[in-house]
Amino acid sequence: MPTIYIDDNPYEVTEGDNVLKACLSAGIDLPYFCWHPEMGSVGACRQCALVQFRDADDQHGRIVMGGMTPVSEGARFSMDGMKASEFRKNVVESLMLNHPHDCPVCAEGGECHLQDITVMVGHRSRRYRGKKTTHNNQYLGPLINHEMNRCITCYRCTRFYNDYAGGTDLSAQGAHDHVYFGRQQDGILESEFAGNLVEVCPTGVFTDKPLVNDYTRKWDLQSAPSICNGCALGCNIFPGERYGKLKRIHNRFNNEVNGYFLCDRGRYGANYVNDEKRAKFSGLRSDDGRYNAIESKHAIDTLASWCNNSVGLAAIGSPRASVETNYLLRRIVGGKNFNNGNGDHQASLIDQIAALMQSSSTITPSMRQIESADTVLILGEDVTNTAPRMALALRQSVRNLAKKMAADMRISEWQDEAVRVLAQDRLSPLYIISMTDTRLDDVAKETLRTSPSDIARFGFAIALELDPSLDSVDGFSASEKQLIKAIADDLKSAIKPLIVCGTGCQDLAVIQAAAAINRALNNSQSMLSYCLNEANSLGVSLMQDGSEASLSELCDRASHGQIETLLIAENDLFRRAPKPQIKALISNVKNLVVMDCVDTATLAQSSLALPSSSFAEAQGTLISSEARAQRFYPVYKPAEQRQSSSHWLTQLGQKMSLSGFDSLTTFDDITAACAADFPVLADIVEASTNHDFRYRGMKIPRQTHRNSGRTANNAGLSVHEPQQPIDDDTPFAYSMEGSNGKQPATLIPFVWAPGWNSNQSVHKFQADAGGALTGGTAGKRLFEATADGSETSHYQIPPAFEAEPDHWRLLPLYKIFGSDELSALSPAVNELTPMPFVIMSIEDAQSLAVVDGDGVILSSADTEISFEVSVNLSIPIGCLGYSVGVPGAPWLAPASSVRIVKDQTWINRKIAHKVSEIVTEAGVSNV
Amino acid sequence: MISKLPLTQNINAARDPVSLDDYQANHGYAAARKAVHQMTPAECLKVVQDSGLRGRGGAGFPTGMKWSFVPMENVSEGHKYLICNADEMEPGTFKDRLLMECDPHQLIEGMILSAWTIQADVAYIFIRHEYHLASKLLQEAIDACYAKGYLGKDIFGSGFNLELYVHSSAGRYICGEETALISSLEGKRANPRAKPPFPQVSGLWGRPTIVNNVETLCNITHILRNGADWYKTLGRGEDHGTKLFGVSGRVNNPGCWELPMGTPIRELIEHHAGGMQAGYKLRGFLPGGASTDFLVEEHLDLAMDYDVIGKAGSRLGTGTMIILDDKTCPVGMTKNLVAFFAQESCGFCTPCRDGLPWSAQVLDDLETGNGIPADLNTLQNQVRFIGAIGNTHCALAPGAMEPLASAMKYFADDFQAHIDGKACPYSTAISSASESAGVN
Amino acid sequence: MNQPIEKNSSSSKARSISPILTAAELAEIDHEISHAPTRSAVAIDALKIVQKHHRWVSDERLKGLADYLDMSTAELDGIATFYSLIYRKPVGEKVISLCDSVTCWIKGYAQLEQHISRQLGVGLGQTTADNRYTFLPTPCLGACDRAPVMMVGEDTHLDLTEDKINQILAIKGGQEQ
Ligand SMILES: Cc1cc2nc3c(=O)[nH]c(=O)nc-3n(C[C@H](O)[C@H](O)[C@H](O)COP(=O)(O)O)c2cc1C
Ligand code: SF4
Ligand code: FES
């Protein structure tokens, strides 16, 4: 650890860091703009200037950029040296020449890094008397607002969007003081990570459009630590609320999980909670089929009597509900009457994954670990669409070769451009074997597109290449054999190889193949990562002892009149099984009770509907696909009779006077009870601290010190000053009183520090700038790789796929915008959601005489529905990819074989192309 | 008898281009042939180091030392590059054009010798777009060399390979900055790169790269042809060899001449440039292009040597001087210079991108009679802010501050007069919109 | 049944050769590509080639070129707009580039600028109604010993005076008809 001197005070700093990072870590407020802890330094803004002295005798010294200067033993610097402070002031003054000074109407105001730094350097009065340069703004889609005149040309946007996230449609244009950051023409930003520009831009050029359109200043937002519900990765988020409405989602730093970045599904997918249609009262269906609003107490009484007097009682949980909700539901009805709601096919995949994770000797990596992989094989997943944030991590992993080359040349990793220049387009190997083209293809060494069963076969062949003792797979072409060997060789020579698979192609063999490769690798550092779809997919799978009923079992029992009352928590069964099956189930039960935070097709069929609060108004534990248990907390009090499903269920259990329910007085009690009942979940209690946690006797505020007019929030409705809600179930207070800063990482409700109003203040919560939070890493991993070799290794190698005449094999295509139930209900995401579509090969399109934009009628065992056609270069002939779960698309049996005909009534929305052009277009645009 | 003015020895008054035959008739390519057959790269480097040659592109960095940083042992797989910087866009500079339009083979031979010394197998001539004639002649000369086997595979039958390409630029003064030039050669926006790492280790495509000025490379031809000792006899003062010096402005005979290093300024202006035009007196001059500090009468007897001019508070720069006469407004001239640099900023770093237009704006206010006393402090402040190497990402902006700082020092009264009189006291001042007009 | 194995997908991506690029242009561009490490490396040369054939680079050609070079239009436009000699707006048959740098300034280019404007009836940055000339300023042309200087098309004109300019513009005009 070298020692550097800043204004003659010694500081122990980290070897290899730059002086800017060292200063921030040491608690010295050295202003900066273009530097970013994840993206390194380029020296564009010149803001992080200090004076460096040759030695103790050097009186004058020279200006250097902290961000561009490596720390070295004994180096001497000064922050205050007139030179430096005047220089930093001049930089801000220059940046302000053309800035519009429109803070009052700027969405960044109050959390603007430019404002903070301007105040920090003490720039006050303006000397420039010339005209300002101005720019036109662009339409960038429903997510992001563009106001170029505020730009300070730090190049952070293009460095994130292009260099870090692999986007191509944003660029720096023009030169000298006319540099412009935008697209070539107006249009929707293509990257699924564009939303991060909102946080990466140090001022108000790129702002959160939904927030802008329903605006609240950061200091007026009430927030609490939460977990994204968009997929199973469990990214940490700060939802912000005002007036009972969720206003925006900001990134909550977690060094092991999402780091500094979110995907756009996560950032923009939570506004469904503001939907006016969400029920506020319990509804009891009368004989005429209409719902009557009833008191909660009445609802619970009715429900309790149904449950106590039912011939048969059963319940279906949900992978989008918390561990606690599922636990209570299961406990009320008993294991054998409970189904976890994953849907039978999904369940078979997830249960297999859960089993492998617990028995396997390979690491299930965190996203930070994924970034460290030096060779990657993606088996069957279109990661950007099934586990979006992981795709960004994989994009970083391919740069490990560049970082190694740089290290060999003694170029520091933070020397961002130098590292890129040195490596040019050399990347660590990443192979993709998938059903169709994916958004990571541009960084793939090689890609292969084929059917799920063949993806599995390739997997087993690679395993065989690594371990000749395994069962043989054959029937590969010479070039395919080459690829198999190449992949095996790269995986073998890698230090930290990573295999990515998951439920993306709904195929068990693919998962078993991935595991087989990892076993064959027999490398203690090798990693196997699984992409799962829902926030608690893994959690509900782990919460089983084998006694549980499958969904079809329950349907079966119902059809024999063995289920009189069926409880469903936060689950739309029509997304889990064929429509007829669910219809039958529902008509076969007498009392269908559904509690949910959104209005679903299932809820619409219920005899009793209970309004659950959303994730933003509730508390719960979720278990991510990395087996990390994480707690989310209510951001604000639910309106009217809404309460969390776990509250409804506790009350029900107590009303039914079930044993042990009386002792469930706090939420922590429920978590503890669940941990006690399920050994594998024992550690979920460590996912957070007890509700009675206090810092210096104080609760943690959900509101900033500056929260204004809180007590007058609804003065427009009533002059009576409402009392702030009391919260005795969490360490947080619905108030600005209290302390935020020294608590455990899981309990940080927002980042703010004196002088640092923007999200950049996160470094004040980190032990080392850019490193783990002072309060540790949020969440608790439930288990690590076991070397006991107990791993289940039995599998069957599926036969190769053969296209059958006028039948098509269904391939599931997940879309980041649309396939996830809840986020698709959010207006901004909904705007980007495609209408139900299918993709097919050119050959198939020609045989059906359809072109891009035409419609086809798909008929399977139990449905007939129309989809829009998109011709695709990469999908295998005889396969039909369809948009899974997007609004309007029915549940279709995985891997089923369907018939399609051209829909003559369909109107083609896309301009008619010549076939030749379709070919190339379909090739570049991934539907 | 070896010429004492080697660089222009083949060039006649009519400036006819020298053909390959004529060039060879006068020892052309003998040095290159000899080097690749009989000299090791190390030996060649030694000669160049001994010659004391300093870069003619403006910075005056010792060429031999620069080359010595190129890795020679166990270099990783891949090319090494030599780049000839023929961007010549520094206002007031018109020397490289002469060398390329008149004696292209001298440059090509210099490049072969330099490439051999650093063992580069690919070389580029990065030439500004406007030099159409030079590009054409160079390309013809290169084709001729390929035909003869002086370029390409196995040159002179030595087994050494060298590909040489001419790249014509698309404008922008910043492309002359060596790392920006490299970005531009890679087909990117010409933003300079941070150093370290230096191009010698990670330059074009991340490979070892040397960038040298046209005139520097022409010197190499003669240094390796006639040796370091001979070269040292050419200079008149501290520095060795000859240099193309130029004078422009209101002198009787503006032009460009090869003269020994260390030639006194007075001799240049009064003898070679024929003195000031009738009715004009000398006020001052920029000794080596737009980005060098003004010098004045008291400096006329200084020798044109790097360190002599440096001690006087300016830089030898490109050695082509611009004369300020007594009927031209120093403030106006400074404004023109600063406006140029503002317009040519690449837009990467703040002090340059935003600071230079601001400085130009203030100077324009002064010129148009809208100046206020505080403006002088503002300008002084800008000089401190932008003027030092290290404050900015590259040397463009500091270069822009050199004429400003020195003008405020030597012509303080003029600046004051503009403010007091609320107008420019010189008739020639016509403010022009041109600095901001453009088609992209 | 499987799709052919694809080497690094960006290069395997079906490249739409937009009909907007002529065979002649493509041939010249391919020649540049032949000695470049990547297709996008020739971006600047390719832009100049297209401009040589059409005087300026339209949005359509920009897109066609970007596709051909495996790069995005945004990236290519970022490059095109950086360089002052790539024209993204239409220009006349000939561009008049009048040097506005220091020595030409001393030698009174400003008067010549106004003279040319009067003659052509357009100011700097504009194109004459007959679309013959676009009048632009240019930094130092490297002929300061013969200032004032301007270029018309590829020809450099030295020691400018108002009379000389009249001749040049007249003669040029004559040649073009
Ligand atoms: C803004 C700027 C513009 C430059 N323009 C040129 C140029 O046009 N020609 C040139 O040879 N050097 C130019 N240089 C200097 C080059 O960066 C580099 O130092 C030089 O080409 C090295 O060659 P030399 O060592 O032979 O002088 C410029 C430097 C800067 C900072
Ligand atoms: S000083 Fe900065 S902005 Fe100016 S040219 Fe150099 S890098 Fe670009
Ligand atoms: S942060 Fe240091 S130069 Fe930008």
Mean pLDDT, residues A610-631? 98
Q: Is C5–A921 a contact, with Cβ atoms under 8 angstroms apart?
A: no
Q: Which two tokens stand for residue A42?
A: 């380029």
pLDDT in tens, A572-596: 999 999 999 999 999 999 999 999 9
CB-nearest to A87 from B201, B378, B391 is B391
Whose CA is closest to A449, among A870, A168, A801?
A: A801
What integer pLDDT is reported at residue A792 of this predicted model?
Answer: 67
Please give the residue that has the higher pLDDT: either A203 or A742: A203
pLDDT greater than 90 at residue A710: no
Whose CA is closest to A868, among A881, A852, A879, A880?
A: A852
Three-state secondary structure call for residue B218: helix
Residue matched to tokens 């980190």: A766
Q: Which of B49, B89, B90, B117 to mutate to test the pocket of ligand 1 (most atoms within 8 A of CB)?
A: B90
What integer pLDDT is reported at residue C14 of this predicted model?
Answer: 54
Measured in Å, residue B307 CA sits from the centre of ligand 1 at 18
pLDDT in tens, A432-489: 999 999 999 999 999 999 999 999 999 999 999 999 999 999 999 999 999 999 999 9
Question: Which ligand is located closest to the Cα atom of residue A19?
Answer: 3
Residue matched to tokens 């944003």: A170
Residue matched to tokens 């070079």: C69
Degrees, nearest 5: CA angle B76-B80-B82: 165
Mean pLDDT, residues A400-409? 96
Q: Would you place residue A910 in the very low, low, confident or very high pLDDT band (cuts 50, 70, 90)?
A: confident
Subunits in contact with chain C (3 or more CB pairs closer than 8 Å): A, B
Lowest mean pLDDT among A81-95, A519-533, C3-17: C3-17
Subunits in contact with chain B (3 or more CB pairs closer than 8 Å): A, C
Mutate to test the interface with C, among B77, B124, B130, B209 (most CBs of C within 10 A): B130
Mean pLDDT, residues A513-519? 95
Q: Is C105–B343 a contact, with Cβ atoms under 8 angstroms apart?
A: no
ipTM: 0.95
Which positions in chain B touch C114 (Cβ < 8 Å)?
A: 430
Q: Would you place residue A926 in the very low, low, confident or very high pLDDT band (cuts 50, 70, 90)?
A: very low
Residue nearest to atom 8 of ligand 2 (CA): B346
Question: Which residue does chain A place closest to B201, by CA atoms?
Answer: A409
**Whole-angstrom Cα distance, residue A471 to residue A460?**
9
Q: Name the interface residues of C facing A (CB cutoff 8 Å).
A: 1-10, 13-16, 37-38, 59, 62, 71-75, 77-78, 81-82, 84
Mean pLDDT, residues A156-181? 98
Q: Would you place residue C18 in the very low, low, confident or very high pLDDT band (cuts 50, 70, 90)?
A: confident
pLDDT greater than 70 at residue A720: yes
As beta bridge partners, residue A617 has none
DSSP for C77-114?
Answer: HHHHTTSTTS-SS---SEEEEEE-SHHHHHTTHHHHHH
Per DSSP bridges, beta strands A864-871 and B122-127 are: unpaired
pLDDT greater than 60 at residue A32: yes
CB-nearest to A876 from C2, C14, C77 is C2
Cis before C37? omega within 30: no
**Residues of chain A above pLDDT 90, percent:** 90
Residue nearest to atom 8 of ligand 1 (CA): B88
> Any chain B CB within 8 A of the CB of C166?
no
Question: Which ligand is located closest to the Cα atom of residue B356?
Answer: 2
Q: Which of B129, B178, B352 to mutate to test the pocket of ligand 1 (most atoms within 8 A of CB)?
A: B178
Phi/psi class of residue A295: alpha, beta or left (left: φ > 0; alpha: ψ in -120 to 50)? Answer: beta
Which positions in chain C touch A425 (Cβ < 8 Å)?
A: 38
pLDDT in tens, A288-299: 989 999 999 999
Measured in Å, residue B172 CA sits from the centre of ligand 1 at 13
Whose CA is closest to C140, among B269, B341, B251?
A: B341
What integer pLDDT is reported at residue C15 of this predicted model?
Answer: 65
Q: Is A90–B385 a contact, with Cβ atoms under 8 angstroms apart?
A: yes
Question: Which residue does chain C place closest to A803, by CA atoms?
Answer: C1
CB-nearest to B354 from A47, A94, A415 is A94
Question: Residue C68 belongs to what H/E stretch?
Answer: helix C59-68
Q: Is C74–A171 a contact, with Cβ atoms under 8 angstroms apart?
A: yes
Is the alpha carbon torsion for B211, B216, B218, B223 positive or negative?
A: negative
**Whole-angstrom Cα distance, residue C160 to residue A548?**
95
Q: Is A422–B202 a contact, with Cβ atoms under 8 angstroms apart?
A: yes
CB-nearest to B193 from A175, A177, A421 is A421
Which positions in chain A touch C78 (Cβ < 8 Å)?
A: 171-173
Q: Is A171–C77 a contact, with Cβ atoms under 8 angstroms apart?
A: yes
Whose CA is closest to B35, among B48, B44, B45?
A: B44
What integer pLDDT is reported at residue C171 of this predicted model?
Answer: 58
pLDDT in tens, C68-109: 999 999 999 999 999 999 999 999 999 999 999 999 999 999
- Indicate whether residue B343 lines ligand 2 (CB < 6 A): no
pLDDT in tens, A246-293: 999 999 999 999 999 999 999 999 999 999 989 999 999 998 989 999
Q: Is C3–A169 a contact, with Cβ atoms under 8 angstroms apart?
A: no
Whose CA is closest to A545, among A806, A334, A833?
A: A334
Is the alpha carbon torsion for B180, B183, B184, B185 positive or negative?
A: positive
Is the alpha carbon torsion for B249, B252, B254, B259 positive or negative?
A: negative
Secondary structure letter of residue B195 according to DSSP:
S
Is the alpha carbon torsion for A476, A480, A485, A490 positive or negative?
A: negative
The interaxial angle of helices A645-655 and A667-677, nearest 10 deg, is 80
Question: Which residue does chain B place closest to C86, by CA atoms?
Answer: B170
Is residue B80 within 8 Å of residue B207, measured between CB atoms?
Answer: yes
What integer pLDDT is reported at residue B427 of this predicted model?
Answer: 64
pLDDT greater than 80 at residue A914: no
Mean pLDDT, residues A677-703? 95
pLDDT in tens, A348-391: 999 999 999 998 888 999 999 999 999 999 999 999 999 999 99
Question: Residue A452 belongs to what H/E stretch?
Answer: helix A452-466
Q: Which two tokens stand for residue B216?
A: 């520097």
Report chain A's mean pLDDT, rounded to a whole number: 94
Mean pLDDT, residues A393-418? 97
Question: Residue A153 belongs to what H/E stretch?
Answer: none
Q: How far is CA A814 from CA A289, A505, A686, A899, C97, in A?
A: 36, 9, 33, 21, 56
What integer pLDDT is reported at residue A864 of this predicted model?
Answer: 84
Measured in Å, residue B402 CA sits from the centre of ligand 2 at 15
The interaxial angle of helices B356-367 and B374-386, nearest 10 deg, is 150
Q: How many Cβ atoms are within 10 Å of A522's Cβ, its own excluded?
A: 12
Which residues have a Cβ under 8 Å from the Cβ of A555 and sit 6 or more positions away?
A577, A581, A584, A585, A588
Measured in Å, residue B344 CA sits from the centre of ligand 2 at 9
Is residue A878 within 8 Å of residue A814, measured between CB atoms?
Answer: no
In Å, how far from its chain's centre is CA A684? 21
Question: Which ligand is located closest to the Cα atom of residue B350?
Answer: 2
Is residue A670 within 8 Å of residue A664, measured between CB atoms?
Answer: yes
Measured in Å, residue A166 CA sits from the centre of ligand 2 at 26
- Indicate whether residue B213 lines ligand 1 (CB < 6 A): yes
pLDDT in tens, A787-818: 666 676 788 999 999 998 889 999 999 999 99
- Indicate whether residue B94 lines ligand 2 (CB < 6 A): no
pLDDT greater than 80 at residue A915: no
Evaluate if pTM is beyond 0.90: yes
- Indicate whether residue B90 lines ligand 1 (CB < 6 A): yes
> Any chain B CB within 8 A of the CB of A407?
no
**Whole-angstrom Cα distance, residue B23 to residue B18?**
6
Q: Is B129–C144 a contact, with Cβ atoms under 8 angstroms apart?
A: no
In Å, how far from its chain's centre is CA B191? 19
**Whole-angstrom Cα distance, residue A512 to residue A507?**
9
> Any chain C CB within 8 A of the CB of B184?
yes
**Taking chain B (440 residues) in consecutive chunks of 10 residues, what is each chunk's mean pLDDT?**
93 95 97 98 98 96 98 92 98 97 98 98 98 98 98 98 98 98 98 97 97 98 98 95 98 98 98 98 97 98 98 97 97 98 98 98 97 97 96 98 98 98 77 42
What integer pLDDT is reported at residue C13 of this predicted model?
Answer: 46
**Whole-angstrom Cα distance, residue A813 to residue A386?**
9
Measured in Å, residue B174 CA sits from the centre of ligand 1 at 9
**Whole-angstrom Cα distance, residue B349 to residue B355?**
10
Which positions in chain C touch A877 (Cβ < 8 Å)?
A: 1
Q: How far does chain C reach from its first CA to its final CA, in angstroms?
A: 63
In Å, how far from its chain's centre is CA B65? 18
pLDDT in tens, B396-438: 999 999 999 999 999 999 999 999 999 999 964 444 444 444 4
**Whole-angstrom Cα distance, residue C40 to residue C56?**
20
Which residues have a Cβ under 8 Å from the Cβ of B69 and sit 6 or more positions away?
B198, B200, B201
Q: How many Cβ atoms are within 10 Å of B74's Cβ, its own excluded?
A: 5
- Indicate whether residue B354 lines ligand 2 (CB < 6 A): no
Q: Would you place residue A715 in the very low, low, confident or very high pLDDT band (cuts 50, 70, 90)?
A: confident
- Indicate whether residue B198 lines ligand 1 (CB < 6 A): no
Q: Which two tokens stand for residue A713?
A: 């929030």
